[in-house]
Amino acid sequence: MVLDALGRKCPIPIIMVAERIREVPVGEVIAVKADDVAARTDIPAWCRMKSQDFVREEPLLHGWAFHIRRNY
């Protein structure tokens, strides 16, 4: 699953992930596209707080894609 949060300010990308992560099977990866620089720290922090795996940050032409593996 890919969530497009481009053009949205934090905490909206985090809210989008929190609302949709249950749709992703355990062990699978969700990608969040965001261009708000705060997402670079907020998304990994959310993963730590919620015991989800932050897999990687991928640079895009505009913003980044943050890959999160669902643990539970």
What confidence category does residue 64 fall into, taking pLDDT thresholds of 50, 70 and 90? very high
Amino acid at residue number 61: L
Parallel, antiparallel or unpaired: strands 2-4 and 29-34: parallel
Question: Which pLDDT belongs to residue 52?
Answer: 98
Q: Which residues are catalytic?
A: 10
> Looking at the DSSP assignment, which residues form a beta bridge with residue 8?
none
Answer for the pair 41, 70: CB distance below 8 angstroms, yes or no. Answer: no
Q: Among the residues of 28-69, which ranges form H helices? A: 39-49
Q: What DSSP state is assigned to residue 51?
A: T
Question: Which pLDDT belongs to residue 2?
Answer: 98
Amino acid at residue number 21: I
